[in-house]
Structure 1
Amino acid sequence: MIRGPYSLALVAFLALISACDQKAPEKSGAGSPAAPTAATSPATLPPGSGSAQADFPEPDITKLLMPLQMRIGAARQAARSDPNDVHKVIDLGALYFAQGFAAEAVPVIERATRLKPDDYGVWYFYGRVLEHAGKPEPALTAYLKAVDVDFARLQSDPNSPREVYVPAYIRAAALLLDKDAERAERLLQQAHEVDRTNPQVLGGLGAAAARAGRADQAIERLKAAITIAPRYFFAHSELARIYEERGQPDLVRIHRDQAGGEVPYFPLGDPVESALLARGMHVGTLIENATQAVERREYTIAEEALQAAINADAGGVVARTALGDLRVLQQRYEDAVREYRSVLRVNPRAVDQRISLAGCLTSLGKSSEAAEILRSVVSDDPSNAVALFQLCRVLVEQKKADEAVQMIEAAAAAASKNALALTQIGEVAVRIDRVELGEKYVRQSMALDPRLPQGRYMLGVILRRAGDVEGAEREWREALRIEPLYLPPRMGLLEILQQRRDRRAMEDVLREGLARAPYSPDMLNTLAWILATSPDEKQRNGQEAVAIAEMANRLTEFGNHALLDTLAAAYAEAGRFEEAVSRATAAIVLARDVQRLEAARAYGERRELYARRQPYREP
């Protein structure tokens, strides 16, 4: 999934606490979205409402955790006691909405629209609640009202954020797309005028064009969306559908693999909904917010979100697992053990948590307990290669290599008819330096299924370790012939070609791979590096290197130090030295964060070249 291009200031604005209390001027001109009906867009409170206690619905909350029940009860009492305080009303509505009581949230947020009729966020929230309550027509009206209100805000304050109301356009267009594509397209064209680089708007425009029979224009728009956001699943899904209608199965496969199936149209990274769900203690949103905070290395924020999720989650399994994973990242293994044990008290057979617990215990020097846990996992599933490898590694460290071999042999006997499992077991043997045993099981797997690409790849690994480079190359090329999208043999083949310094052959292998898997960060990065740093002037192409490296970094959200180093080299080759220095600096910071000090040193040496306005050339 991609995140929406919204600033922190905007997210705060969309938290539904508007600073604008004065009514904005009405939007004028033909072609503006239709205004809501009086029934759905009351401008004032009904007579006599005053500050009298309001009556809000009471859903059955008895199945929620007691802390949540108490929070909802307190929010309902606060809203009833002060029904003209929009903050208290929205607090109650957000809790109802996030905890699955959309129908009960409708009258609550309807009141908020009366209290704040000129607030875009309130109208947008009202649309979300109505849509979740199964009322698409009133929801559409609310979204269009949000658009009207926000357009008026832009007219009255041209310096205010201009991308604010784009999600409302997308939500409205999503409701219209399959029944009135022309109207949906008009809405998205208006949004496009405000934000021309929004991939979700471009994706919607592409889908609307496809439904109008303009396939070439649809493809152009959808490809533009993917160029900006390579993992935009909806655009891939639409492209797969168009190419299927055109009878182009190779392109269908590429985009369907990226999309993972049919994907509906809706805004991604929606800051309003995310803020509301977090405000309403929605477990999934809190965990997602924590995950994003971890990616930004904001561990305190992540911990706060996960603790809130634990308080709202009856079992706490997902949230506690995520908190345990965070503790591992922080190398706080004792704390991680505590979280994983809490999860296992709820679900003693949870496989991933048992393996993670064993890993922490190993890090704490408690290898005997770790081995017992891993034995239980392997006993339940002898083909679990992750648990088997961890167990064998622990046994080898305990000077029990013979027992490790026995575990591998037992796992192989249990999986004697499963070619893929035998390949994975063979890999475990190779990784603990029992190469002959590993080769035995890999060859058994290939006897069962000679067309298994994983088996061909693993045999190539074994042959290369034995010094048979030609044999490895033969197996990897055969693996690619069987499954061109399987990345490991292609990367192994590239390593062989790199050792030969055959950059032309490397480029050919990469371009062939990218024709089949155009969104592989590894292949994109390697090709960009060659085009930026090759000693062959005829092979270098700075502009193409920049385009490819930028794509690779968008796929990884600019969070991989090696890919940033490549982007810096590409900028330098293109003569964009200031940007090269900036990206090289970012690469150094990320590399140091993960203790890749040798890589950081190399990036620093290249940065010195860029600062002197010199590109980097490979020897």
Structure 2
Amino acid sequence: MSTSKLLSVYLTLVLLLAGGAPVLAQEAAPTETPAAEPAEEAAPAADVAADDSAVEDGDAVDEEEPGEGDDAAAMEEAEPTEDGAVEDKASEGEAADEKPAANPAEPEDPENPGAAELNRAIELKLDADDLQDLNEVVDLLDEGLSKGLDPENSDFAEEMLVATLLQRAASFSQVVLSQPIADPRRDPRWIQIRQYALTDLQRVVALDPKQSQAWLLLGRLQSLPLGSSSEARRALTQVIRLAEEAANDPEAETPEPTAIAQAYALRGAAQKDGASRLEDFNKAIELDPEKEEYLLLRAQAHRADGDGKACLADIEKAIETAPENPKAYELKALALLMLDRQEEALEAFNKASELAPELLTPYQYRSELLSQQGKVDEAIAELDKSLKLQPNNLASLLIRAQLLSENEEYEKALQDVESILKQQPALVRAHQMKAQLLNQLGRTDEAVAMLEKLIGIDPNLTELQLQLLGIYTEKQMAPEAIELATKILEAAEAAGENGASESSDLVRRLRGDMYLYAGDHEEAIADFEKALEKNPNEPGVLNNYAWTLATSPYASVRDGKKAVELATKAAEVTEYAAPHILSTLAASYAEAGDFEQAVKRAEEAIAKADELKTLDDYDGQLEAELQCYKSGEPWRELQKLDVAGPASEADKEIAEAEKSADDKPMTTEPKANAPTPPATIDDTPARSIDF
């Protein structure tokens, strides 16, 4: 049998898993999609590679190249045995001719019933060169120990079992560590092989807790995605403790400084608090100062702590050691951005792309930076380049779709979103973007239908509910908006939020606006009151509340004095710079009977709108309000009937309109000259009502 057979099986595993460089992974939990957003979540931070010094040469696989032709077959036929190993069925026929057979005539030693199995294991171990051999050695040793051996042979068998398990685990680990994978859940083979390694290593440390190499491999495997950071810290702490004990014991074998350094670096990556993380990275660098990966890990820790200068200093040292590492330049660019050195950051991103043109993240980061500088076309061009490299990359598609939307290229943005949904049909963010784009393209009915359908499938999708509420509000679909807002608030209250969350505050504010639009002024005031309890200085709520108290046609609602108080506060918060709030202040003074102040504030509203070049947006209403106050009348408004004007005229019109409105439902279609409420509460509309 070829001595390269064992290596052949493992290299087959590597090839099937599309092998790469081993990674010194930081703590990582499973996620939906990297970088769905264009900032640090949108693209991965600098990865840091580590060597395989933890796997001793004698314990790992052969360095000989595998033979061609039989590797794939070996992997295809490999399957787990009862103890969790992988059985190499491809070599069974060959092994039958070469492996030593038991001697049926060999007498059983009554003091060592398992001696025959031990002897066969020893003979087989001497020539073991494939998984089948290693599996059988483990089985024979387990069987021999189970039958019984005298103390001396039992100790020897356990030592041999530890060595064999460690050899097998090291080989499995080599496969896993040579294939870093962002989401192992997409490749069950990777998970399975990692579990084989963990099972063997856990047996090793149970049999011999002083096996430093086994603890280090355990720590490395637990540091990978789907691993346990607490188990990683425990295993790596054992490596460090054994090294400290060995340093004080002349007869003990001291691990190599590079292995101890790796244990510190890995444990640092798994630490929860920044101080412990830095302490471990410092120790790793002290033990292995030439390892640029440890410098980059410490640089990342400095970056997480907000220390841009220390981060940059470590990166510069790492680049001195490894000037061709593209991830070092990428991390350097991020550090420079922390220091607001944008042009230098662009140069560093460019260097990363020069060294590794196939690396996507520099294009994504560069795109984000350019978009922040207002260079949207250039930012889109960077994403075009990244998508040529990986046409289906979700992060690039999401970022480009957002930028295309900002550039008002809605059709192109929608194409990107459709591509995303083909890959990830359940990605909520993509559905949100699609609805937004459909609405921007004037296909509001499609957007509403899509959102209503998705919410019907999963009523707990709060993000989609809020988006649908925003469309209802924008299109002044008052009944639908009020019903949905009420459902959201009731669900929040049932969940224990008690209206305290930011989203609940916004929903209550929007429901109040829709009550106002629908003419349900008492309900609107109730929502405005509650909204102000949480945000007493919110100018939009103050404005709409004051406008309701000042202009409602219902005497039971109006309160001029309180309207002046609220409108004055809104004007102060906005530094008397918002025309629509000055208009509300004027209406409040008019309702309070102070027409001199009403005229003054109405004139200020017109002057401010003229200064801001927004006077035409008010469609003559500000001028009409001024004339109303000059004639000594307050202003009245009932939006649901599209009635607004001086009290004497409006009251008659409202009375007549309400009579005729009793026989027909209120339209939910927006008026041709109706204000367009913004998506957020910070913007202002083109009239006194602040949607």
Instruction: Return the TM-score normalized by structure 1.
Output: 0.37
Instruction: Return the TM-score normalized by structure 2.
Output: 0.33
| Larger Rg, first or second structure (1 or 2) | 2
